[in-house]
Amino acid sequence: MSMATTTSNTSKDATAVNSCNHCNLKKICFPSGLSTDELSTFEGSVEKTLKIAKKEKLYSRGDPLTSVYAIKAGSIKTYLSTSKGQAQVLGFHLPGDLLGFDGFADDHHTSDAIAMEDTLLCELPMTNFENLCEVLPGLRKVMMQQVGSEISRHHSLVLTLGQMQTEERLATYLLRLSCYYNSRGYSCSQFNLPMPRHDLANFLGMAPETLSRMFAKLEKLNVISINRREVTIDNMDALMDLSHELCMKD
């Protein structure tokens, strides 16, 4: 994406991005696995902390690929729009996640990305990225792992939507969120859903009314408790049984 295509109220901090050494996401972000010297080289190539407001686009389908991004705070939704104005949610991206790899195939983004809330991102321009990959082998490995993860998530989504019942789809996504928060040192049993229910229903391939019934069903079974967007997992074993997935918890 070219930042010239972003809405006019997008802005960048006047100061350089905070040191990666002081970021609690460094072990799961761009600098993962880099040495101290490599980290210093990397920091010099990350231009600024990018701020985008809620409902503001980070990039649109067809935009040139000019940067890749790491989410520092907030959340991003990626989706595809049809010629009739319908949208299919592709994913929800949270702090520590990397964005922009959909443009690697032909140097243009193949999806839209929009902020679900006020969001901060680290921006790594592609010109800097290509130079860094030449001098930092560890960074190239991180990028390959990220692309591999994207493929794995896509395969998992196909399985979820194609083979699972509606309550299994919801249970699977809740467990994945639980795993996400656990990996970042937060509670794995109590967390907020970052997206509105109609977006989650779209992503899981069900009507919003069906999603509401599935939430109610899981509550009735004493698997979870819901308070607005706050989810409390009351029976982790039951949730894992429903989702047919495993996730280690500390």
CATH code where residue 92 lies: 2.60.120.10
Q: Give the per-residue pLDDT at 9.
A: 40
Domain count, the chain: 2
Could you tell me which of 175, 161, 185, 194 has the C-alpha nearest to residue 233?
A: 175
Q: Which residues form the domain of 59?
A: 3-150
- Cβ atoms within 10 Å, residue 148: 10
Q: Give the per-residue pLDDT at 18.
A: 52
pLDDT digits 0-9 by tens, 142-155 = 777 777 777 776 66
Q: Is the pLDDT of residue 6 over 60?
A: no
- Return the top range by mean pLDDT from 72-81, 94-103, 130-139, 144-153: 72-81
Both 57 and 108 in one domain: the answer is yes
d(Cα 101, Cα 93) in Å, to the nearest integer?
Answer: 13
Q: What pTM value is reported for the model? A: 0.79
Both 132 and 176 in one domain: the answer is no
End-to-end CA distance of the chain: 39
pLDDT digits 0-9 by tens, 50-90 = 899 999 999 999 999 999 898 999 999 999 987 777 899 99
Both 146 and 172 in one domain: the answer is no
pLDDT digits 0-9 by tens, 190-236 = 999 999 999 999 999 999 999 999 999 999 999 999 999 999 999 99
Q: Give the per-residue pLDDT at 247.
A: 55
CB 74 within 8 A of CB 116: yes
Both 132 and 23 in one domain: the answer is yes
Kindly state whether residue 14 falls inside one of the protein's structural domains. Answer: yes
Kindly state whether residue 64 falls inside one of the protein's structural domains. Answer: yes
